[in-house]
Structure 1
Amino acid sequence: MFPIRDHNPSGRTPYVTYGLILANVAIFLSYWGLFGDPRALNAFFDRWALFPAHIAEGYGYSGILTSMFLHGGLMHLLGNMLFLFIFGDNIEDALGHVRYLLFYLAAGVAAALLQFVADPTSTVPTVGASGAIAGVMGAYLLMFPKARVDILIILIIIFKVLPVPAWLLLAVWFGMQIFSGIGSAGAEGGVAYWAHVGGFLAGIAMIAPVWLARGGPAFWSRTHGTPPHPEARYVMSRTHVPRAGRRNNGSGRKGPWSRH
């Protein structure tokens, strides 16, 4: 299951969120051709990705920042950008454009640092925006815990869209990161779980002053943990696809027909 949209409209155009999405896509496309050449791709990541072992040896610090704009594949990119698109606009609305950009980058740095602490000898390149986006998700949890988020549930051939409160989705996601992080070493299996945990916790910590300035629990009481403006509503309607059947074709026999 994964989120496809929220019901929490933004009060202003999220220019920074859109800019971050465009930057991630553009950077990914700039080295897309290297995926056909593993040696060239490894050389590229060796220069720009985060290597905990390099940090432990006293170099490669730039990877803490640059790694959050790299992705290991198309699905990795699309998944991260979907989460950023869903949750980013509301945190940008709450913080303002400049503070939100600084918040995003700081969450990404915090995520990279916790990944380093979790496995400082790892020579596996760490890439992805998910640590920074986890910070956005942590902030969303504190600010709008009861905002409705639509999740798509796929069970083999069954597809179901189900609205759930944000706190449920985000709490389950965070719990899965901790559980998976404990059960794996560093970025084993291709996922840097502790980077997700670090970004999420950093996001909560950094948004907390804003939440407190708005009244803390009193802010939740005023808004009921939902957006401070009318929520967006989506209506699932049936498609108007003509139905095909059989009718009498005038010759005493029934034949096929269709209506366009």
Structure 2
Amino acid sequence: MFPIRDHNPSAGTPYITLTLIGVNVAVFLIGLVLFQSERDWNQLYFNYAMIPLRITNGEGYAGLVTSLFLHGGLMHLGGNMLFLWIFGDNLEEEMGHIPFLIFYLACGIGASLLQLASAPLSPVPTVGASGAIAGVMGGYLLLFPKAKVDILIIFIVFFRILPLPAWIMLAIWFALQLSGGFRIDTSAGGGIAYWAHAGGFIIGFLGTLPLWLRRGGLRFWDRTHGHPPHPEARYGRSNIPRVRRR
């Protein structure tokens, strides 16, 4: 399942969301130009990724922040930026530009610390904005649980776009992260940082609670019906065909 868009895009310009996307893309492209060998990439990750063993040994603390702007490949980058674009604009508009930036960085750093706690002796670099974006998703769930999100479902040769309430999509995503976190061997290294995802999501949810309470808590949901306070966008019929096996 891949979310491709929400039904209530923000009314204003999400400057911080756009800037974060631009910085992540720029860092990735600059890396492709400047670093041609595997040795160069390894040195980049050693210097700027979050490496639990280095932090446990009292060094490499800057990686808690710089790792949020590094990605391991085009699909990694593209998936993260898609999630940020879908869920970031409405949350930024509700929080304000600078508070949203602080919230994003706090979620990312907190997620990295939880990943560190899950495998403090791991020498494997952790990179990506996933933990911070998971925090954005947690905040989105609290403020806009009934917002409609279009999900692209791919099953072998069957394709379909299905609109789902945000709480269903995000609950499934969070359950998958928890399941992955309990299933993997943290000493093995590599793979997906499930605990950073799950931890970032929880941090984002809890970090948004004060804003939700200031907006009135349950009364906020009554006023907005669990949707972003913007008119629903009108999307035309999808051009993605259904393809069935003969």
Normalising by structure 1, what TM-score? 0.89
Paired position in structure 2 for 1:164:
164
Note the C-alpha offset of 1:189. 4.5
Superposition misfits of 4+ residues, deviation over 2 angstroms:
33-36, 185-189
Paired position in structure 2 for 1:244:
none
The within-5 A match list for 1:18-57 is: 18-33=18-33, 36-57=36-57
The within-5 A match list for 1:245-260 is: none
Paired position in structure 2 for 1:112:
112
The share of aligned pairs that are identical, in percent, is 60
* Structure with the larger RCO, 1 or 2 (CA within 8 Å, 6+ apart): 2
The within-5 A match list for 1:94-133 is: 94-133=94-133
Flag structure 1 segments of 5+ consecutive residues without an equivalent. 240-260
| Closer/same/farther in 2, CA of residues 176 and 102 from structure 1, 3 Å limit | same
**Contact 1:119–1:185, Cα closer than 8 Å, also in 2:** no
Paired position in structure 2 for 1:8:
8
Paired position in structure 2 for 1:76:
76
Amino acid at match of 2:209: A
Amino acid at match of 1:119: A
Q: What CA RMSD, in Å, does the superposition of the two structures yield over aligned residues? A: 1.5
* Distance in 1 (alpha carbons) for counterparts of 2:35 and 2:13: 35
Paired position in structure 2 for 1:86:
86
Note the C-alpha offset of 1:211. 0.5
**Contact 2:124–2:190, Cα closer than 8 Å, also in 1:** no
The within-5 A match list for 1:235-254 is: 235-236=236-237
Amino acid at match of 1:85: W
Amino acid at match of 2:102: L
Amino acid at match of 1:194: W
Flag structure 2 segments of 5+ consecutive residues without an equivalent. 241-246
* Distance in 2 (alpha carbons) for counterparts of 1:229 and 1:47: 43
**Contact 2:91–2:136, Cα closer than 8 Å, also in 1:** yes
Say which SS state the counterpart of residue 31 (structure 1) adopts: helix
Amino acid at match of 1:197: A
**Contact 1:104–1:132, Cα closer than 8 Å, also in 2:** yes
* Distance in 2 (alpha carbons) for counterparts of 1:71 and 1:118: 21
Normalising by structure 2, what TM-score? 0.94
Amino acid at match of 1:115: Q
| Closer/same/farther in 2, CA of residues 237 and 29 from structure 1, 3 Å limit | closer
Structure of greater Rg: 1
